[in-house]
Amino acid sequence: MKTVLTRHYLFVLLMSFLMACGQPEEVKKGIISVIPQPNSIVQKHGYFKLNKSTQWLINDDEVKELVTYFSEKINTATGYQLSMSSDEPGSNFISINIDPSLNMTKEGYTVSVMKDFIHVASPTKHGLFYGLQTLLQLLPPDIEAKTELNNVNWKIPVVDIKDEPRFKWRGMHLDVCRHFVPVENIKKHLDMMAMFKMNTFHWHLTEDQAWRIEIKKYPLLTKVGSKRTEGEGFVSSGYYSQEEVKEIVKYAADRFITVVPEIELPGHALAALSAYPEYSCTGGPFEVRNVWGVEPDVFCAGKDETFEFLEDVIKEVVALFPSTYFHIGGDECSKERWEECLSCQRRIRRERLKDEHELQSYFIKRIEKVLLDHGKKMIGWDEILEGGLAESAAVMSWRGEKGGIEAANEGHDVVMTPGNWCYLDHYQGDYRVEPVAIGGYTTLEESYNYEPVPAELVEDKIKHVLGTQGNVWTEYMYTPELVEYRVYPRLIALAEVNWTQKEQKEYKQFVKRLDKQFVRLDHHNINYHIPLPEGPLNRVVYLDEAKLEFSNTRNYPMVYTTDGTLPTPKSKVYNKPLFFDEDQTVNIATLLVSGKMSKHREINVTKTKLIPATNVRTTKPGLAEEYVDGSFLNVSDLKKVRDWQTRDGVIDERGVKDRRLDYKTPSAHVFKGYISIPSDGIYEFQSNLDQLFLSNQLLIDNDGEVKRFSRNNTSVALAKGKHPIKLIYLNNVIGGWPQTWNGPKIQFRKMGKEDFITVNNDMYSN
């Protein structure tokens, strides 16, 4: 057996040598839809055909478990039960070989596909796992099906691949505190990470908004800290038992993914302090924070009891995670309480620290010693540089690249994860048509084109860049499905950033290779992002003729209807502007190669006339205001109000006159009066108000929505002059977002103009 296996293996080595000498010109990158793009790939003529007689040929019992994992996947989709053999069958086999002599990293691999056999080799099981993932991607994407499929030609192109990753840290961060993510959904993400050769899952387990991991010595952390009462009145809760943590860690390890826990300190700790207020500076009492943002109450740095508590927590956590690194957060730690705390100020004097920033460094370094005693390395966000970096610490650079560059130049390892490219909670399309997000704008192309090695790093410091990761903060991801919508496919782009040498990357070919990957994601029920058609408002009014132009962020085809039906893949393809001279409803959606479509958009096109101005005499600037204290979530709640108070109101981006709005003292406001329109024309209005009535029609209705950004822009035809206006503003908290943080705002622009005008008090009268 060994003689025959060696003959085939020598043949494979020869092919690898020829492949390394140069790729034939007729081979074009992107024909083979593997992601991440292999660093060396040569396609030839012909196919290996997988069938029920195909066998696994293994030379080491160590790989049996690995082969079983992939054999079960193949069996599920094909119905083929591939047997294992240590004796070469002559043909129709897949040989799996651990070969320590291969000149590549432990995660590197080779795949050689011939018409009669396939050979996969690597120095380690890690590399074999990735080689077999590539083999699955060489098969039709239906190999990921969860039920047996008939009439699929299970063929693999003849190809030679030699591949290894560019970076060691290829990660995904997931915040489960703002919104809880169930175990089964985390497993879906781990499956996707494995498919695309990512190896680090950064699990953000504690925050101001929740404590999500069971600590047996401190049961109140989950009994109290895992629950919060939202502004809408319902209770949000959830945590992971230690047994569930072990389950996730093992599930990840089976896929060669390391789980790195994050326990936030010294800031972002309100959930812990709600359970154990004695470890704060003030003693509380506290409630788990139910709005986003940064909390001033943090762990007290002056009390030794605080460190004893954290040592106990760390002791239980490290026992659950075999990872080398332990993430301590360290970001956005308010110094407000420390400045006023006698214990903290005594600590500063006793330790001869300069200020509260050095107190944070003291805090971090003290925790570093605890981690070192447990055989762990510390990693934290780039704020841990403040006051001096702990000796063994690694840094995650999120506030741009400056922190990472500074840390690398000092000889510390870094993970480059700046928000402009790596924050997957950003918008990836027009905020007016996409689900509400925290802000920012990061397209798939921008994520794909990120270069983790800053140009400023000198050659001998580049080795400190471990890689990058996609960061998933879940403030505005209210369901696991919305998490997926934000994450994919941008995480897949970052997978290629991490794995593939930058010379081998090309965005246009990546997008082509994504087509088949979307089918794979469909089999895993991943709710990935399909760009929505952008351009017109949902309500378009016109005087003579309407012109509608559509686009999307990835230039995919779009299909539409005008007969009231919903679009299908066979509907008309949009390829030029649409013109209308009568009322019409346009339904339009983006179309993928697979035939899957985005959600459709409905555009109502209405022919109209200018609404005449009102011939009214007003005597005062601003608007008349009615207001009432109390919590109102919906406009309909105002029907029960009988005790309105009145005054002259001022509404603009600065808020309401003589009243500092605070989300902790909710209220409702109704403004009435007139707005002056500067000239005849069609105007687009946008607002974060709950409702905007103009010329006696409901123009914008945001009732019940998260109003972080304007969601329902619309157009109206107005004549020059004064028009009656009514504004309804509910000072409440919906979806974790307090309305007062933006302040009530109305903006408009004449159609055709680029910039919006913010309405100020001088434009109103009553």
Q: Where are the domains of the chain?
A: 2-163, 539-607, 623-765
DSSP one-letter code for 577: -
Return the higher-pLDDT residue of 455 and 25: 455
Q: What is the pTM of this model?
A: 0.94
- The tokens for 264 are 């936030």
Instruction: Provide the mean pLDDT of the chain.
Output: 93
Q: How confident is the model at residue 740 (pLDDT cuts 50, 70, 90)?
A: confident
- Helix (H/G/I), strand (E/B), else coil: 340: helix
What percent of the chain has a predicted confidence (pLDDT) above 70? 94
Query: Beta strand pairing status for 258-265 and 325-329?
Result: parallel
pLDDT of residue 663: 84
Residue 387 CA to residue 266 CA, distance in Å, equals 14
Residue 468 CA to residue 460 CA, distance in Å, equals 19
CB 43 within 8 A of CB 32: yes
CB 271 within 8 A of CB 207: yes
DSSP 33-50: --SSPPSEEEEEEEEEE-
pLDDT of residue 10: 47
pLDDT of residue 23: 40
DSSP one-letter code for 454: -
**Residue showing tokens 């909670």:** 425
- The tokens for 642 are 């009988």
Cis peptide before 612 (omega within 30 of 0): no
Q: Among 511, 462, 490, 486, which residue's Cα sits nearest to residue 37? A: 511
Domain at 623-765, CATH from 3.10.129.10, 2.60.40.3140, 3.30.365.10, 2.60.120.1560: 2.60.120.1560
**Residues 648-673 pLDDT 10s:** 776 654 444 444 467 888 999 999 99
Q: Which of 78-82, 134-138, 758-762 has the lowest mean pLDDT?
A: 758-762
CB 397 within 8 A of CB 404: yes
Residue 756 CA to residue 685 CA, distance in Å, equals 9
Q: How confident is the model at residue 62 (pLDDT cuts 50, 70, 90)?
A: confident
pLDDT of residue 59: 82
Quote helix, strand, coil % in the chain, to nearest 5.
30, 25, 45
Cis peptide before 261 (omega within 30 of 0): no
Kindly calculate the radius of gyration of the chain based on its CA atoms and give it in whole angstroms. Answer: 30
Length of the chain as a residue count: 766
pLDDT of residue 17: 42
pLDDT of residue 31: 66
State in words which class domain 2-163 has: alpha beta
Q: How confident is the model at residue 28 (pLDDT cuts 50, 70, 90)?
A: very low
CB atoms within 10 A of CB 188: 18
Degrees (nearest 5) of the Cα angle 636, 642, 646?
A: 100
What percent of the chain has a predicted confidence (pLDDT) above 90? 89
Mean pLDDT of 452-457: 95
DSSP one-letter code for 296: S
Residue 217 pLDDT greater than 80, yes or no: yes
Residue 668 CA to residue 685 CA, distance in Å, equals 22
Q: How confident is the model at residue 18 (pLDDT cuts 50, 70, 90)?
A: very low
How far from 741 is each of 268, 440, 557, 663, 703, CA to CA, in Å? Answer: 19, 17, 39, 8, 17
pLDDT of residue 26: 31
How would you list the strands of the sheet with 757-758, edge to edge? 714-718, 681-687, 746-750, 757-758
pLDDT of residue 210: 98
- The tokens for 16 are 């690898």
Q: Among 97, 101, 103, which residue's Cα sits nearest to residue 56? A: 97
Residue 745 pLDDT greater than 90, yes or no: no
Mean pLDDT of 387-416: 94
Mean pLDDT of 545-571: 97
Residue 733 CA to residue 739 CA, distance in Å, equals 6
DSSP one-letter code for 6: H
pLDDT of residue 116: 96
- The tokens for 321 are 């995670």
Residue 318 CA to residue 378 CA, distance in Å, equals 12
DSSP one-letter code for 240: B
**Residues 465-478 pLDDT 10s:** 999 999 999 999 99
pLDDT of residue 246: 98
- Determine whether domain 539-607 maps to CATH 1.20.120: no
Mean pLDDT of 406-420: 96
pLDDT of residue 717: 98
Q: How confident is the model at residue 710 (pLDDT cuts 50, 70, 90)?
A: confident
Residue 492 CA to residue 183 CA, distance in Å, equals 21
